[in-house]
Amino acid sequence: MPIKCVSPDYVMKLYIETFGCQMNVLDSQLVEGSLARDGYTKVSTPDEADLILYNTCSVRDRAEEKVRSRLGRIRGLKESRPDLVIGILGCMAQRESGKLLSAWPHVDLVCGTRELHRVPELVREIQESRRPAKATDIRADFVFDTMPRPGVDGPLAYVSVMRGCDNVCSFCVVPRTRGRENSKPLQAVVDELKGLIDQGVKEVMLLGQNINSYGKGLPGEPDLADLLAALDPIPGLERIRFVTSNPWDMTEKLFRAMEELPTVCEYLHFPFQSGSDRILESMRRDYTANDYLRLVDRARALVPTIELATDIIVGYPGEDDEDFEATVRMVREVEFLQAYIFKYSVRPGTTAVRLGDPVPIPTKKSRNRILLEIQDEITLRKRKEKVGQTEQVLVEGPSKKVPEIFSGRTRQNHLAVFPPDGTVPGDLVDVLVADCTPRVLRGEVCSR
Ligand code: 5AD
Ligand code: SF4
């Protein structure tokens, strides 16, 4: 029995904050949905909550630092309200496990990435026993389909199709925090998608840490292209995107599926991390800069309208000026639509730990700035090429900054803003692009 239930009318309140990637956003939605079954409603500040959850990310130290700072800030809340339950979920919970409970005595719950379906049960246990609980088993047989969503919010939805990563990139903590690869059966994805479409979803983003190895270990070994082909004909589904793709599992079959299946958007998030072969080898990325460029050529030959996005790490141990120049060359040569650039952060338990962190912070910062500037120029140029053209946009609703203006995305993932002109979220419209900024295309709806 939740101890706060003194009055039958009392509504238990949940504050949940999410750090990190789209998978975490989805996981938080699933946790929220399963807690709603126990009567929890979401609130927007920790002060009002009976249950505070942080769904954490470990990919860089900065993400963990933010959580540590939140935990410090809410210590006082727990002192004044001992019945408050505080939980850490996700990657940091997985990585640090029991250590979090000793380091932060006001934390009650530590729940890793593969036991999130147990959160409601564990919270009840804590409320009854007043003792902390920890669930950080990283078994491969994560039960994907037992957690309900809180209901869809607009025309876009995330669907996880595989979890975990069997790769061994030297810098990356994800294989430790998310465990071994595990794919959701194809029919389960189809059913989940149909359910979302019934609720008004038009575009799905399929999620997986290493999505193009989808299907390994499933009966019949379907691959990502097979999955896309099974989803494409579902009535009411307008668009499919998928992240994150790694160079080593990209196949011609997948590129062909992107070109041939009408719902699959011509946009690929396709990290190369470094343009230097020496660094790629040390990162254990199993491809060279030339291999990557060849894949980019194949992608563009088979999917002529494709836009690419990438992740890049600067300041990896041993990265000298020449290595960095090779990364700059790659950025200039490929001309990505977007590049997410990260300063290297040592992660405990990864193989790169033994290399230390020799690149000075100012060097990392300046390399980061240089790449950002180059990428901004390229992005702006690509946006300018769209001016005067008509682009298909899926209307998402009021833009974050100016609510009287609507926003949406083109198939190639340009953000576009436009006056609503009678459109509603979920409409597919044509927008005539009038001008652009480095961040968005601006235009008007010209047909629907
Ligand atoms: N330091 C900096 N960036 C990292 N990434 C992963 N691990 C690290 C790290 N230790 C970046 C990679 C990856 C993205 C999700 O985060 O670029 O693709
Ligand atoms: Fe990390 Fe490499 Fe797996 Fe990506 S592919 S999650 S960078 S280990």
CATH code assigned at 221: 3.80.30.20
CATH code assigned at 118: 3.40.50.12160
Regarding the beta carbon of 345 and ligand 1, being less than 6 Å apart is answered yes
- For ligand 1, atom 16, name the residue with the nearest CA: 59
Domain boundary among 118, 135, 152: 135
Q: Which residues of 304-343 are buried (b: 16+ CB within 10 A; e: fewer)?
A: eebbbbbebbbbbbebeeebbebbeebbeebebbbbebbb
In this structure, the answer to whether residues 120 and 207 fall within a common structural domain is no
In this structure, the answer to whether residues 177 and 290 fall within a common structural domain is yes
Which atom of ligand 2 lies closest to the CA of 273? Answer: 7
| Closest listed residue to residue 305, CA positions, set 198, 412, 380 | 412
The ligand placed nearest to the CA atom of residue 319 is: 1
Q: Which domain holds residue 41?
A: 13-135
In a domain, 4, yes or no: no
| pLDDT score, position 99 | 95
Domain boundary among 384, 410, 438: 384
In this structure, the answer to whether residues 279 and 150 fall within a common structural domain is yes
In a domain, 254, yes or no: yes
In this structure, the answer to whether residues 152 and 120 fall within a common structural domain is no
In this structure, the answer to whether residues 233 and 284 fall within a common structural domain is yes
In a domain, 5, yes or no: no
Ligand 1 mutation target, pool 342, 355, 364, most atoms within 8 A of CB? 342
Cα–Cα dist 402/431, whole Å? 18
In this structure, the answer to whether residues 337 and 351 fall within a common structural domain is yes
The ligand placed nearest to the CA atom of residue 20 is: 1
Domain boundary among 329, 358, 384: 384
In this structure, the answer to whether residues 399 and 370 fall within a common structural domain is no
Q: Which helix (H) or strand (E) holds 332?
A: helix 321-334
- Does the N-terminal peptide bond of residue 244 adopt cis geometry, omega within 30 degrees of 0? yes
The ligand placed nearest to the CA atom of residue 310 is: 1
In a domain, 6, yes or no: no
Residue ranges around ligand 2 (CB below 6 Å): 165, 167, 169, 172, 174-175, 209-210, 246
Which atom of ligand 2 lies closest to the CA of 172? Answer: 1
In this structure, the answer to whether residues 266 and 232 fall within a common structural domain is yes
Q: Quote the crossing angle between the two packed helices 224-231 and 186-198, to the nearest 10°.
A: 30
Ligand 2 mutation target, pool 246, 249, 269, most atoms within 8 A of CB? 246
Q: Answer whether 145's CB lies under 8 Å from 168's CB.
A: no
| Closest listed residue to residue 271, CA positions, set 364, 340, 365 | 340
| Closest listed residue to residue 163, CA positions, set 199, 193, 189, 187 | 189
In a domain, 7, yes or no: no
Regarding the beta carbon of 347 and ligand 1, being less than 6 Å apart is answered yes
In this structure, the answer to whether residues 231 and 310 fall within a common structural domain is yes
In this structure, the answer to whether residues 265 and 117 fall within a common structural domain is no
In a domain, 289, yes or no: yes
Regarding the beta carbon of 342 and ligand 1, being less than 6 Å apart is answered yes
Instruction: Compute the C-alpha angle 420/423/425, nearest 5°.
Output: 100
Number of domains in the chain: 3
In a domain, 332, yes or no: yes
| pLDDT score, position 139 | 77
Name the amino acid, one letter, at 70.
Answer: R
Q: Answer whether 85's CB lies under 8 Å from 110's CB.
A: no
Instruction: Compute the C-alpha angle 182/186/187, nearest 5°.
Output: 130
In this structure, the answer to whether residues 304 and 404 fall within a common structural domain is no
Contacts of 120 (CB under 8 A, 6+ apart): 34, 35, 37, 38
In a domain, 2, yes or no: no
In this structure, the answer to whether residues 125 and 22 fall within a common structural domain is yes
- For ligand 1, atom 7, name the residue with the nearest CA: 172
pLDDT tens per residue, the chain (448 residues)?
A: 444 455 777 899 999 999 999 999 999 999 999 999 999 999 999 999 999 999 999 999 999 999 999 999 999 999 999 999 999 999 999 999 989 999 999 999 999 999 999 999 999 999 999 999 999 998 756 666 568 888 788 999 999 999 999 999 999 999 999 999 999 999 999 999 999 999 999 999 999 999 999 999 999 999 999 999 999 999 999 999 999 999 988 999 999 999 999 999 999 999 999 999 999 999 999 999 999 999 999 999 999 999 999 999 999 999 999 999 999 999 999 999 999 999 999 999 999 999 999 999 999 999 999 999 999 999 999 999 999 999 999 999 998 888 899 999 999 999 999 999 999 999 999 999 999 999 999 999 998 7
| pLDDT score, position 152 | 83
| pLDDT score, position 146 | 66
Cα–Cα dist 92/96, whole Å? 6
- For ligand 1, atom 6, name the residue with the nearest CA: 172
Secondary structure letter of residue 148 according to DSSP: P
CATH code assigned at 431: 2.40.50
